[in-house]
Amino acid sequence: MKTYKAILILSLLLPASAASAGDFGLNMLTASDIRLSASAFPVPAPAAEISAMDEAETASYLADRETVTDEKGLPGEPAPQNFGGDGTLKLYHEWNKEALEIRYRDELGRYLPEAMQKIKRFFRCRLTGRETDAPAKLIELLDAIQERHGGRTLIIVCGYRSSELNGALASGSDGVAKHSLHLKGWAADIKIDGVRTSALRDTAKNLRAGGVGYYPSDGFVHVDVGGVRYW
């Protein structure tokens, strides 16, 4: 029975992973990832099984106790908004171990489709490899935050989060938000080496682009382009 379940999970995951692979090499799923994925089909995993993921990584996801309204209360697709960034991003993904330095907007203010696709790929779900569009407003927000901290590399703790990953994490009493904006690709958990988490929070709040969550003990700040709110 266990062998049958493992084959079933692999048959579900591998096509999706292969389809989403682009210029960036998709990290191979680990045995821990497969164990977590198996528990997410067809029902969310109990909180105890989330430990199948790397302990530090799981803790970083669970730390983000995002406050959101229900789906009916969310705004429509965020409109692009320039917050004063220079049109470039320098990113490093903490768990995928990938770096991306890219110009996403030209001198006339036009977004560059190839660059936007690479950013979308960069922000893919850590568990499934699935992708979703990152709103230009979120990219502009990250650019502005980076600009206000000397152009230092933004470290991404979490970008897009698939329903499989979020469902497994949210199933416990201390799980993540069930209607997280990470599910829509509208949020990112970020940090910058050498910058205090409180300073990063204050920068994000001053921009008033959306939600800002402050997690000093975990060393990151949640930013999103939903409603303006703080926690």
- Looking up residue 75, the CATH number of its domain turns out to be 3.30.1380.10
**Angle formed at CA 141 by CA 100 and CA 93, multiple of 5 degrees:** 30
Per-residue model confidence (pLDDT) at position 75: 62
CA 205 distance to own-chain centroid: 19
> Which CA distances in Å does 58 have to 52, 61, 106, 155, 218?
9, 5, 37, 17, 12
Bridge-partner residues for 120, per DSSP? none
Q: With residue 202 as reference, give the H or E element that holds it.
A: helix 197-207
- Domain extent for 184: 1-231
Count: domains in the chain: 1
HSE, side-chain direction, 13 A CA sphere, residue 106: 6
Cβ contacts of residue 208 below 8 Å, gap of 6+? 228
Per-residue model confidence (pLDDT) at position 91: 98
- For residue 194, what are its two tokens? 């050498």
Per-residue model confidence (pLDDT) at position 97: 94
Per-residue model confidence (pLDDT) at position 49: 42
Backbone dihedral angles phi then psi of residue 102, each to the nearest 5 degrees: -155, 145
The Cα–Cα gap between 31 and 139 comes to 33
Per-residue model confidence (pLDDT) at position 69: 59
The position carrying tokens 């965020």 is 78
Per-residue model confidence (pLDDT) at position 166: 83
Q: Are strands 187-191 and 220-224 parallel, antiparallel or unpaired?
A: antiparallel
Spell out the per-residue pLDDT of the chain, length 231, in tens: 444 444 434 344 444 444 444 443 333 334 344 333 333 333 344 444 444 567 888 888 888 888 765 555 566 789 999 999 999 999 999 999 999 999 999 999 999 999 999 999 999 998 899 999 999 999 999 999 999 999 999 999 999 999 998 888 777 656 677 889 999 999 999 999 999 999 999 999 999 999 999 999 999 999 999 999 999
Bridge-partner residues for 175, per DSSP? none
- In terms of Cα–Cα distance, which of 82, 212, 183 is closest to 136? 82
- For residue 101, what are its two tokens? 């330095």
Cβ contacts of residue 22 below 8 Å, gap of 6+? 117, 118, 121
- In terms of Cα–Cα distance, which of 64, 55, 42, 67 is closest to 175? 64
Per-residue model confidence (pLDDT) at position 154: 98
**Contact assessment for residue 160 and residue 189, using Cβ atoms and an 8 Å cutoff:** no
**Contact assessment for residue 171 and residue 115, using Cβ atoms and an 8 Å cutoff:** no
Q: DSSP letter at 145?
A: H
